[in-house]
Amino acid sequence: MNENVIIALEIMAKGMAGIFIATLLIVGMVYLLSRIFSASKKSNTDQYNE
């Protein structure tokens, strides 16, 4: 019984770590994409202002 609980906890920990890492990756990608798009918008407006 005790081994089953430990195995279940390991599986739950791996699942939670996977969700945490996936969330961090998604947030990082969204942050990078927003930086890229805001930089391209700034460069486009600079061209029109000249």
Q: For the segment 16-47, what is each residue's pLDDT rounded down to a tens digit? A: 999 999 999 999 999 999 998 887 776 665 55
Burial 11-41 (b: 16+ CB within 10 A, else e): eeeeeeeeeeeeeeeeeeeeeeeeeeeeeee
Alpha carbon 40 to chain centroid distance?
22
Alpha helices in 1-50 (DSSP H): 2-49
**pLDDT at 40 (0 to 100):** 76
Select the more confidently predicted residue: 2 or 15: 15
**pLDDT at 24 (0 to 100):** 98
* Domain chopping of the chain, boundaries: 1-50
Residue type, 25: L
